[in-house]
Chains A and B, each alone.
Chain A
Amino acid sequence: MSLQPFANQAVLELRRASQRAILIEALDTLRLPLQVPVWIGTQQRFGDELVSTDPSDPERVVALAARATPQDADAAVAAARSAFAGWAATPVQERAAALLRAAAWMRERRAELAALALRECGKPWAEADADVCEAIDFLEFYARGAIALGVGPELLQVPGERNRLHYAPRGVCAVIAPWNFPLAIPMGMTAAALATGNSVVLKPAEQAPGCGLRVVEALRAGGVPAGAIALLPGEGDAGAALAKHPDVATIAFTGSGPVGLELLRIAADVVPGARGLKRVVAEMGGKNCVIVDADADLDEAILAIVASAFGYAGQKCSAASRVLVHEAVHDVLVERLAGAVQALRVGPPEDFASDVPPVIEQSAQERVRGYADRAASEGRLVAGSGELPAHGWYCAPIVATGLPAGSDVLRDEIFGPLLTVEAVRDVDDACDRIDALPVALTGALFARNPRTVARVVARSPVGNLYVNRSTTGAMVGRQPFGGNRLSGTGTKAGGGDYLLHFVEPRVVTENTLRHGLVV
């Protein structure tokens, strides 16, 4: 099989009315609610214990899902384990071909899938479309990566022996996915595991079972055997049961810090019946900072900061939440930034004119409002009033300044449209504050002196540093994505070495001497 080199799936050109019309029509014809089963092998058990709703209109039910029990988790792992040998033995070209067909399946339905992500997770059109594209990218990228990995690296060879290293799949992989990239992230983790020959049990976020269903449908339509991919809509107990299962070899997780740390603890505990050490691939939260030096182009910095902090209401692990600005330009930046944020429109994701959609659910709204109250009492809100739609989990976009150094608002991942601004003496002061954080996911620097850029690059601990651009929008193959410190296990989704976390290297050395002769 010869493949074109990887290229990112093009996002829709939404500045053209004809492309917008495609999406609007897809939303009009989207039939809801979806029925999402616990889907193990060919068995489907439907139910309505788990309900996902539209964040902009909570009365609208998007999906009715069966709620997986710990027993379902056991059954799913058992099925995945029995399918594992067959899938692992399938030639990598065939596995890759199945993923590419899954990508084609998604491409054909891209508008419908974007519409579903919009309804289920409140993703604005451009971001919903980008989510579909990223899911396709992961399939295409990891399919190629698995083929390349199949060749194995060169080893030193001396006469009389033949040394080979190959990468074998690890076994059953539990994929525990978030709702904020409801197609791309579950598909990315699942595709990486499948491409390398593992079987997968996918537990989508309880807020996004509908999107999880589509991920599994795409893979099965592409030809991934029923046993190799199971769908387990459910909540934390199902995820914990999966993670604890002795037959789960790998846990691929993207989500909050506390859950990620709990999964690492579970993995470290070798339970009776376990036949291996679990590996955890975890992408967790951040507290992402934007440094603005005195020589920054503020026109560009402000627009990029607004996009980084308020796109998808700040619900991206890459979103910016702190601005550390040189004191010489602090006042002008705050004034202009406040004005720019005041101009944002909070509204439903299907309205192309909305800037800030609702947050995912009521508890998120309450959390963000709690931090907003704290920011107001400890510091000063310079933007954050304005009309909110009456219905839906909306939060006003907020900019806060003057917070004391120890404030929780400067430390916690708020995961909502709340941005803080601090004046710093210089770039080194900013780097010190960033260095003091326990997390290190993304960051941005606005500066034009090449020496400043070099200094910050050298000092920055983050997994993804962006110079003179926004902190969000990493692209597969272009910006391999993942954080350091407590932000994650240091893996890079969409990067060349990601697949290595889903395999184990095996070395075979053959003695080629017979009767003293090299044969």
Chain B
Amino acid sequence: MNDQELESEIQRVGLALSRAFPSRRGHPIRALDERAMEIASQDAELRAALFRFVDVVPACRSTDDLASHLTGFLEEIHDQPPSLSAAMRLGNTKAGRAALGAAGAAGVRHMAHRFIVGSDPRAALPTLRGLWRDGIASSVDLLGEATVTAAEADRYAERCVAALDTLAPAYAAMAPDERLECDGCGPLPRANLSVKVSALTPLLRPQAPDRGKRDAAPRLRELLRRAASVGAHLHIDMESLDSREAVLELVLELLSEPELATGPSAGIVLQAYLRDSPDTLDRVLAWAQDTPREAPLVVRLVKGAYWDHEVVEALQHGWSVPVFERKADCDANFERLTRRLLEARPLLRVAIASHNLRSVSHAIACNRLLGGADCDLELQVLRGLGDDLGHALATGGLRVRAYCPVGDLVAGMAYLVRRLLENTANESFLADQAHGVAIEQLLAPPA
């Protein structure tokens, strides 16, 4: 394909998608959320105060405690708008604090429910069934506190087993949906669980990847066996660079074991914000070449969710920053990796996880021009953040999977804070979209 051909196909796909976006007017509550995020994204101090409040809500013991935290954070804002001063005055009386605390907690719960589909997999089923009816598959992610003990690693593994045991029969009972259930390589499992290696061992050490690997291996092996036996897909998430070696090596080694060659369907994540992600893809491709599997390895391409962490850690230690610091460089890398992944099929299955209309349109256009069928490309969105895009993609006949976090509020708060930060980041595609940036600009090649 030549560049011009690709660009015009991207524009065509992107325009069609943007027209398929649901109208906002029908969702008053969502409009309110977006208004709140809009305000937060415009005032750095207010944004900081709100995030710190969201972050601490689960650890507060009473409405009084909640109010004390809220007013404590708001106190640190210079030039308080009048609405905030009113809230601060409420904090002066016991009744006022009760009202303020209750309102704050309710606000955070409300936001959390937008991103977190249920307190456990069973509670999430109505939402998951609804998504399936709308033509959207899911990958369930079990939120949890950090794993610092062996007992916690065991408990997380047990929760994963229970999730597989809940999801597989629940999905089996759903109506057939040809589009979500097979691609050119064969059948696709309906139930899909994403797991984190950092939750499967307390022993991940950046300087000693083997240690965490060895400790996590038996737990992950059991999960892979279980996924195989119930016919579910198991996806192993990627986290910060500190654990990448351990996670990548662990997954590839386990999937090389003869007993797991025939199943389950499994996947890993490639983070396009990492400068060395092309080398990581080389390794994965070489492995896939040497390791035939009945269900090809799924590679989920993401931008990466730990950008701030990676930059701060590098700057604090005097290391070169391992991630692209310019958004356009990251986006361009995302597109190059997309193409390489698409060209690597059928050695791999490809899932493109992005809310950037340009990146998604590029993947769809590139796939089509490479001669691929739409069903040979999976597109993934985050529940709560990419709902509109997900529905637009599904409406357009594409194969979509929503990443659905499940867990209680305490466990989910770190995830929620990350999502909220993404949503209010100045450079975020969603912010551009919300501010009515012209579609041509949203679809322009990264530069």
Contact = CB atoms under 8 A, between A and B. Distances in A.
B149 A352 contact: no
B68 A343 contact: no
Top 9 A-B residue pairs of the complex, sorted by shortest distance between their CB atoms: A339-B149, A10-B318, A15-B206, A299-B146, A14-B207, A353-B208, A353-B211, A352-B208, A340-B148
Contacts of A345: 211
Interface string B263-282: 00000000000000000000
B239 interface: no
A148 interface: no
A393 interface: no
B121 to A, nearest CB: 22
Nearest to A7: B318
A15 B245 contact: yes
A376 interface: no
Nearest to B206: A15
A303 B148 contact: yes
A299 B203 CA distance: 14
A295 B67 CA distance: 13
B145 A299 contact: yes
A297 B59 contact: yes
Contacts of B76: 450
Interface in B166-211: 202-203, 205-211
B241 interface: yes
Contact of B207 (A125, A339, A343): A125
Nearest to A303: B148
Interface string B235-251: 00000011001000000
B374 to A, nearest CB: 39
Contacts of A300: 146
B203 A343 contact: yes
A170 B210 CA distance: 53
Nearest to A478: B316
Contact of A450 (B59, B73, B242, B414): B73
Contact of A295 (B56, B202, B205, B242): B56
B69 interface: yes
Contacts of A388: none
Nearest to B246: A15
A295 B210 contact: no
B60 interface: yes
Interface residues of A, number: 38
B222 interface: no
Given A345-B211, A449-B68, A15 B59 contact: no
Interface in B72-94: 72-73, 75-76
A449 B202 CA distance: 28
A28 interface: no
A296 interface: yes
7 contacts: A11-B317, A20-B207, A297-B59, A300-B146, A303-B146, A339-B149, A353-B205
Contacts of A352: 205, 207-208
Contacts of B150: 339, 342-343
A295 B60 contact: yes
A448 B69 contact: yes
Contacts of A342: 149-150
A10 B73 contact: no
Contact of A10 (B59, B69, B319): B319
A14 B241 CA distance: 12
Q: Which of B206, B207, B210 has the most CB of A within 10 A?
A: B207
B203 to A, nearest CB: 6
A177 B59 CA distance: 44
A17 interface: yes
Nearest to A448: B56
B318 A336 contact: no
Given A343-B150, A449-B69, 13 more contacts: A10-B318, A14-B206, A294-B59, A295-B59, A295-B60, A296-B59, A328-B61, A339-B152, A340-B149, A343-B203, A353-B211, A450-B72, A451-B72
B253 interface: no
B52 interface: yes
A295 B59 CA distance: 5
A460 interface: no
A15 B145 contact: no
A17 B246 CA distance: 11
A298 B59 CA distance: 9
A448 B55 contact: yes
B162 interface: no
A108 interface: no
A312 to B, nearest CB: 15
B46 to A, nearest CB: 14
Interface string B311-327: 00000011100000000
A423 to B, nearest CB: 15
Contacts of B151: 339
Interface in A237-291: none
A11 B314 CA distance: 10
Nearest to A294: B61
